[in-house]
Structures are given as C-alpha cells and as structure tokens.
Structure 1
Amino acid sequence: MQEILEKYFDYLKSEKRFSAHTLRNYRIDLDSFFEFLKSQFDKDISPLVLEKVNAQNLRTYISYRMMDDALRVSISRNLSGIRSFYKWLNKNKIIHNPALEALNFKVPKEKPKQFADSDEAQNVIKLSYKQDHHEEWVKHRDLALMILLFSTGMRISEAINLNIEDLPSSDFMTITGKGKKSRIIPILPIVKEALDEYLIVHPFSGNKKAPLFVGARLKRLNAGVIQNQLNKIKRDCGITCKINPHAFRHAFATSLLKKDGDLRTIQELLGHSSISTTQKYTDIDLEHIQKVYNKAHPRK
C-alpha cells in the first residue's frame, strides 16, 4: 500500500502541481480516512479494503468527523481528497470502485444541538447506567467511557484508540490527538474509579496491549456503538435535545468557561491549535468571553 501512496503523491506533485502545503493536507486527510477504515473493517488498508468501501461507509465517516470536532470546511476538503484518490485508483486500474468517486456528499451546515450544560450530561450518564445490557461489562464500559469524555473533554476518537497500557498511574494522562500532537490532561478520582471498575470485568483485563474500550465482538470499539446507545437513552427516557459522544466534550468546555476558566487553559485541555476554535466551540456569548479576558488579562 505504501508503494501505491508514493505513486499517487508523485502524481499530485508532478502532474497536478500541488504545493507542499496541499500535499501535506491530502496526506493528513487520507491518514484520517484510513484510520477510520481500519476500525470499520478491522483490517490493514489494502486495495481490497478500498474496493469494498461503499456510500454508507462514507456517510458514517462524515458523522465520525463531525463528532470528532472537525469544521465543515475541513470535512469538505477531506471528502474532495478521498474522491480524488479513488478517481486516480480507478483510472490506473488499481481497484474498481467507480461509484465512490462519483458520489457528491453534502456536509451539514450546522452541527446538531449539544447539551445545554453539565447537568444534562450527568443525567445522561446516570440514565446509561440504568439501561439494560446483555453483558455486565458493557454497562461498565459505557459508564467509564462517558465519564471519561465528560470529565476530560477528550475526543471520542482519542478515547476509543486508547489501550489498557495507556491508563495513567498518576493524576495526569498524556493524550495523542489531532495531527499526532500530545497534551496532558488531569484525571479525576471519579474517572479512575469508573475505569477501575470497568477493568475488573474487562474481557482482556490481563492484556495490557488490548484496546481499553472493546465492542461485542471483542474488537476495538466503534464510535457508532456509543451513538446507538445514546439514541436508545434518548428514545427510552424522552430526552428532547440531540445527543452524541461529542456533546460530552462540548459540555466539559462550556462548563469550565461558565465557571470562569480561562480560554487558554481550556484550549490546551481540548487540544485546539487555535484559541478562536475554542471560542466558537464553547458556544458562549461574546459578553461572557470578554468578562473572562478582563478578569485574567495581565494588563491589570
């Protein structure tokens, strides 16, 4: 597969005359797509896997990217790069999947409404624990995952890519996020407690290399499984607002900002490269943001 990718990027550089910046973005976008496909097919990327990708897989990928805090323009660029790659693969008879290169998906203009505050997030976590599960370990898995997301502001992709060996022995944890950038986040006692209880019933608790969060087939958990569980909670409990894994991250950031947490610290905890992203992401009015700046700015 590496040889195919090298030929593709040589084509983009020599024939399409793409700049180094554009080539870097295309590589990042394909890496993201390949990671998603690995979780979907549970196989290393190969021409055979790429040939099996269908429209539904791509729709799921769009949802996955939206839950992972991606901006609409980034997702649109990502899809454009994927179509370009498939067009090249088909043209060079490496695979035969003409349907995918012709598809024209539209990214939703707005993200679904998130939790209004931390109280709603905590309520959903409590309701999750009360749900009926076929396996006891699944109940503890969902509880541990939701508490982890809400208490750390971690992205769903970051959480489900953790292995058991990644769990911290101290009160802090190093996370590798977008662009393979690392950040340190605090781990509260309630998170440790939930994870410890989950590990007691974890199917592979003795294997430190095993995924921390696994699905029914005992493979690495897919984000869609948790979304289905949240949909069930919404349906069974009469919740009116839309809920998804990303909403815990939103509630985390919003709660900190409303309690006068400074934007720079929240930016670091969320792993945002730009503080402007943090401002948009928290969905707090500009007046409140101004109050935070006025209170914390060193000019005083």
Structure 2
Amino acid sequence: MSIQKTIDRKKLDERVVRMPGYVQQFIDYKLPDLSPSTLLEYVRDYEQFFGWLIAEGLTSAAVIGDITLYDLEVLHMESIVAYRLHLTTRTEGTNSKVTVSRKMSSLRSLFHYLSQIAEDENFYPLLKRNIMAKVEIKRIHKPKDTAAKLKGKILEEEEITEFITYIAEGYREDIQNNKQALHAFELNRERDACIASLILNSGLRVSEIVNLNVNDLDLANKLLYVFRKGHNDETFKTPVYFREQSKDDLTHYLALRHTRYKTPKREKALFVTIPNGSKEGKRMTKRAIQAMIIKYAKRFGKPYLTVHKLRHSFATDYYLQNDIYKTKEQLGHASTETTEVYAHLTDKTMSEAIERRN
C-alpha cells in the first residue's frame, strides 16, 4: 500500500467509527474495490450531509452516529433540493458544480447500497424507500469542456524543455538579489528540475511522484514502478516508462541525493527534503511539490501552471505521437473517456497540420 493510502486508511478507520453502523457496513463493502482515499472522501461527504440533517431538525439524533435508517427513509424531495442548494449557496466554502455533483453521487451510492444490496436478517432491504433514486446527477465535466478550459494553460512543444531548463538555471537570475531565496534555489534546483522533468516526460500524478522509492527506479530501461490510482491490487506496482531527458535528470539528482540532503539509509523515498528543524532528509509531501511548481511557474510567466497541468502538458504532447489507447495506459486512466480530453486538446494542432505544405 502506498504512503498516502496508508495515511488515508488510518484517517478512514478513525472517522468511520463515528458513523452509523449502516455506513460502516457500506464502507466495508466498498473497501475491496475503492481506495482508502476515495472512501475517506465518501465519509467526509456523509459527515457533512448528516450534520446538515441534524442542524435542520430532520432527525431527532443529537450525534451523527445515532441517525437511523428511518430518518433517511422519510426524507422528502424538497429536503434533498434544499441540501443541494445549501452546498451551492452557503457563504463559507461554496462548492463548485463538480464538487456538488460528486457529493450527491456519494449519497446516491450509499442509498443504492442500502436499498438494493444490503439486507436484514429476514432478507429485506435495509432501506425501504430510496429518495436518492429520484435525483438526477448530470455529468459535469465532458472531455470537450475540460479541453476548452485547458487550452492555452498548458506547456506546448518547446515550452516543456524550456520550463525544465528554467527551473535548473533560469530562475537564478530572477532571484539574484534575494540571498535567502538564492540559497534555497542552489540547494534544490537539481531536485526540483528532476521532479518537473519526470512529470513532463512520463505524465505521473503528484501522488505517484510522492510515493516513489529509490528502488522503484530502473534507469537502464527508463522505467518506474508505480502504485497507480484506483488499482484494486494494492501490492502491485505498474511499470511506467519515462523519456530520455528524465534519465539524465534523475542520474544528476541521484548523484547528490544522499550527500546534499543528508539522507539516512532507512529513508527509501526518491524525492527528499530537509524540513525546518530537521538534520536529515525526509520524503517530500504532495503539498511541497505543488507549491514548488507554482513558485517556478509564476516567475516563468505561466501563473496558471500546476502539477496537474504539467501532467496534461505531457499527455497532450504524448497523444500527438501515439493513439488514445497507449495514452490511456501511460497515464493510468481507468477508461478512454478520460483520455478523450487530449483528442480535443490537439484539435487545433491537427487542423494546423493539415494546412501545412511540404
């Protein structure tokens, strides 16, 4: 199990015990098929919904764990509409349409399980009436729409190499009058350039980068062994190829990983940092990598760039040389529907190419 999944499984176990027994039963049912990270999001969604039921007086329960199946059975459609409205209009932490859709889908999954799958000792459904079956949840992010939002906000062609080179060298000139920033840059520039290079030359997710260990790397064959998102077998690591440029960047970084970061032998993480107050290297966090990319992107003149947009940049570039099925496998997508984004993103490139003459 990956580092992040282990952390999320612990959080899941801590939170699910405060849920009603039928929610715990649902989570146990889903554990073989969904990652702890996904199920933790489910539990957070249920906490929010049950907390709203209590606040609105739609249950006599004083705490979430005491909310009964009957409380769910007698909900009216107007209550569900009111909850959806609460999610979209509350003044603090208003949710996007995508988030609202996900939260409603979480509820529908629970209600479906209780009414169609789970049963009592007499073989009757645990939930006799499923109000969520009446709720239509529209698909929010169609591939074409996602592609439209991404256009102009990813790196294209030579920009990919330019961004990596900027992290390794160019950033120095922009901060030369800031001694503290310059010191941090000189300490981390090879590592930071290597991380950006690996994403832009393999399409790995930030969570996959964080979870990488040194022994997951096969430099000779330009391979990494990765815990992929959504993979049911948590003991299996998927082989993922990377391009030649990353081989050079990884070789350069590995040569200084131990000495530069005072990394102890027990630390297996590929990418390490020395946290404030610490004397030795430890695994980088997802948040640290995200903040690092944003820092360089702003100075590079692409303030909208994020780690995930680097992944999109690789995928768009890769798709131009390969078909949708190879792109799907390289990115670790569950279905080609997700990969369709890159077909739409490359429409402009394709239309320009057909007009070119030899």
Tell me the TM-score normalized by structure 1: 0.62
Show the counterpart of 1:134: 183
Question: CA deviation digits over 1:211-243, x for unaligned, max 9?
Answer: 211234043223333333333334434x14611
Show the counterpart of 2:113: none
Identity %: 22
Question: CA deviation digits over 1:161-220, x for unaligned, max 9?
Answer: 112222225412221111236432223332222112212222255626432112340432
Structure 1 residues 263 and 24, CA gap change in structure 2 (3 angstroms)? closer
Q: Does 1:268 pair with 2:268? A: no
Structure 1 residues 79 and 105, CA gap change in structure 2 (3 angstroms)? farther
What CA distance in whole angstroms lies between the structure 1 residues aligned with 2:23 and 2:43? 15
Considering Cα pairs closer than 8 Å and 6+ residues apart, tell me whether 1 or 2 has the greater RCO.
1
Q: Does 1:257 pair with 2:319? A: yes
Choose from 97, 110, 118 the match for 2:157. 118
Show the counterpart of 1:233: 296
Show the counterpart of 2:231: 180
What CA distance in whole angstroms lies between the structure 1 residues aligned with 2:228 and 2:35? 18
Unaligned segments of structure 1, at least 5 residues: 34-76, 94-100, 292-300
Show the counterpart of 2:96: 107
What CA distance in whole angstroms lies between the structure 2 residues aligned with 1:193 and 1:156? 20
Unaligned segments of structure 2, at least 5 residues: 1-9, 55-61, 67-86, 99-145, 173-181, 276-280, 354-358
Q: Does 1:194 pair with 2:245? A: no
Structure 1 residues 4 and 266, CA gap change in structure 2 (3 angstroms)? closer
Structure 1 residues 9 and 197, CA gap change in structure 2 (3 angstroms)? farther
Secondary structure of 1:199 counterpart: helix
Look up the equivalent residue of 1:83 and give its one-letter code. Answer: Q
Structure 1 residues 266 and 81, CA gap change in structure 2 (3 angstroms)? farther
Q: Is the 8 A contact 2:213 2:270 kept in 1?
A: yes
Secondary structure of 1:198 counterpart: helix
Instruction: Name the stretch that deviates more: 247-256 or 145-154.
Output: 247-256
| Aligned-pair CA distance for 1:287 | 10
Question: CA deviation digits over 1:47-96, x for unaligned, max 9?
Answer: xxxxxxxxxxxxxxxxxxxxxxxxxxxxxx78624635888996459xxx
Name the Cα RMSD after superposition.
Answer: 4.1
Show the counterpart of 2:71: none
Structure 1 residues 9 and 22, CA gap change in structure 2 (3 angstroms)? farther
Q: Is the 8 A contact 1:30 1:81 kept in 2?
A: no
| Aligned-pair CA distance for 1:277 | 0.5
Question: CA deviation digits over 1:121-141, x for unaligned, max 9?
Answer: 222111111224424441111
Secondary structure of 1:272 counterpart: coil
Secondary structure of 2:95 counterpart: coil
Show the counterpart of 1:63: none
What CA distance in whole angstroms lies between the structure 2 residues aligned with 1:19 and 1:274? 25
Q: Does 1:161 pair with 2:211? A: yes
Structure 1 residues 18 and 151, CA gap change in structure 2 (3 angstroms)? closer
| Aligned-pair CA distance for 1:19 | 11
Show the counterpart of 1:215: 273
What CA distance in whole angstroms lies between the structure 1 residues aligned with 2:14 and 2:206? 31
Tell me the TM-score normalized by structure 2: 0.53
